[in-house]
Amino acid sequence: MLRRPQQKRVKKAGSRPHLSLMLLGGAILAFLLWMFIAADPFQTANPFLRQTTIGQGVLGDWRYGGTDSSGQMKFYDAYQSVLLPGDARTFAADGQFVSIEAHTPTTITFEPAYESQTIGPAIALWIGLLATAGVVAFWRGGHHRSSTASRFRTRAKSARFRR
């Protein structure tokens, strides 16, 4: 019984991954790592809450001044001071605000608005980068497939018979 020699497969030059797909994969991996670090899953408390004591910064140059004898919260900066009622839930100054979670006469626990209310510029930048890389990879992948498909198309050969 005669055996045909097995044909060796030759690796095509276009079979390696495209640079755009590798960049997309790297960007996705970097984004997932950044999200994991930002979330800090090993922390037992809410990672977005901040706690400061008297004299520490709360919002920009504004510092917490504790509470007075009537229970009002005091905030101050270099030029002015502000009193808020003890049951206030937000503190707004200089066009920004924080959500107040709890306070004692010496400490305040708050959530900065940029971490809880809006999509930050870093997240918007990552989403834009991933969307752009995905569109480029999709476009290049479709373009590459059509060129390789046309390379392997052949004309139908007429049947030849041996005599």
The Cα angle at residue 104 between residues 46 and 112, in degrees rounded to 5 = 40
Asked whether residue 153 is domain-assigned, the answer is: no
Share of the chain above pLDDT 90, in %: 15
* Tens digits of residue pLDDT in 16-31: 667 777 877 888 888 8
pLDDT at residue 137, as a whole number: 77
**The model scores a pTM over 0.85:** no
Asked whether residue 99 is domain-assigned, the answer is: yes
What is the domain extent for residue 61? 50-114
Asked whether residue 145 is domain-assigned, the answer is: no
Asked whether residue 62 is domain-assigned, the answer is: yes
**Residue 118 CA to chain centroid, in angstroms?**
13
How far is CA 34 from each of CA 48, 49, 50, 51, 82, rounded to the nearest angstrom? 15, 19, 20, 24, 37
The owner of tokens 């706690």 is 51
